[in-house]
Amino acid sequence: MSGPSRLPISAVVITRDAARHITAVLDALDFCAERLVLDSGSVDETRTIAAAAGARVEIQPFLGYGPQKRRAVELASHDWILSLDADEILDDEARAACLRLDLADPAACWEIRRRTFVGRREICHGAWRGERVLRLFNRTTAAFKPLPVHEEVESIRSPRLLPGSILHYGFTDCRDVLARSLRYAPLKADILRSIGGPSGSWILPFRGLAAFMKSYVLRGGWRDGGPGFVIAVGRLIDSTLPRALVLEAPVRPADEPHAPERRTVSR
């Protein structure tokens, strides 16, 4: 896309070992005046590929997902921000919709439908059905919350829905779905500790069963076959394992030595 047609938007992507999808991610953002990749220590060809695609590449040791994205926004050259993950590709309808936007109001912001795939199979039901994420905003009126995982944008105005979708190729197979839930559990446990921790262990079976049934039965996850079942199991893990970790290792007093080290993981 030629320079004059580009919008005054900085597209920001945080990466680590993201060579698999980064070309497609950046190519779909060619209407943005800037494409910024903030890498946190890739050992594959992510940075080389991103630079070859015309992106500006910066390096920042991983701070946690929310803080890392906040840092990417800080480094951007423009106030208008379009934030995508390194496995998310904007479809043609969303690209066209962006080109029609009126960016005169800095309080405006837009959420986009996200269609998630497990391998090549799109997940149309269950916990991920109808997912919308706020990803296009002005940094003077909105910002990512500094959460270590499951970060989201907080804005002063309710977002509008942008036509089109984000295609999310975040999971290679069903094993990856469960592995992600297990990797995120310590980060979610840290969040729970920071707000005082969960209630007793007696409630864990009920929370887990409710999360599973909501995804698999009430939201029709069974229609997605094996992946739908595994996603529901993942929801069970998400709702119970972080709380179990807090109950297993509660917050230590401030003066107690050898406090547990905070852990971070790559997405």
Termini Cα distance of the chain: 30
Whether residue 12 sits in one domain with residue 131: yes
**Residue 72 CA, distance from chain mean position:** 14
In the beta sheet, which residues pair with residue 37?
13, 57
Domain boundary among 128, 156, 171: 171
Q: Is there a domain that residue 87 lies in? A: yes
pLDDT of residue 250: 59
Q: In this structure, is residue 152 part of a structural domain?
A: yes
Residue that finishes a domain, picked among 152, 171, 190:
171
Are 193 and 90 contained in the same domain?
A: no
Query: Is residue 264 domain-resident?
Result: no
One domain for residues 148 and 197: no
Shared domain for 114 and 196, answered yes or no, is no
- Cα 16 to Cα 47: distance, rounded to the nearest angstrom: 9
Query: Which of 116, 140, 171 is a domain's end point?
Result: 171
**Which long-range contacts link 185-188 to residues 24+ away (Cβ below 8 Å)?**
185/237, 185/238, 185/241, 185/242, 185/245, 186/242, 186/245, 186/263, 186/265, 187/64, 187/148, 187/149, 187/263, 187/264, 187/265, 188/149, 188/150, 188/238, 188/242
146 and 234 part of one domain: no
Both structure tokens of 259: 């406090």
pLDDT tens across the length of the chain (267 residues): 444 468 999 999 999 999 999 999 999 999 999 999 999 999 999 999 999 999 999 999 999 999 999 999 999 999 999 999 999 999 999 999 999 999 999 999 999 999 999 999 999 999 999 999 999 999 999 999 998 888 899 999 999 999 999 999 999 999 999 999 999 999 999 888 888 766 688 889 999 999 999 999 999 999 999 999 999 999 999 999 999 999 887 555 444 444 444 443 344
Total count of domains within the chain: 2
At 109, list the tokens. 């912001």
Question: Phi/psi of residue 10, each to 5°?
Answer: -95, 115
Give the chain's mean pLDDT: 91
Determine the structural domain holding residue 76 and report its residue range.
3-171
132 and 238 together in one domain: no
pTM: 0.86
Determine, yes or no, domain membership for 261. Answer: no
**Does one domain contain both 36 and 136?**
yes
Q: Please indicate, yes or no, if residue 265 is contained in any of the structural domains.
A: no
| Whole-number pLDDT of residue 260 | 44
CB 89 within 8 A of CB 167: yes
| Domain CATH for 84 | 3.90.550.10
Using CA atoms, how far apart are residues 264 and 21, in angstroms rounded to an integer?
22
Three-state SS for 138-160 is ECCCEEECCCCCCCCEEECCCCE
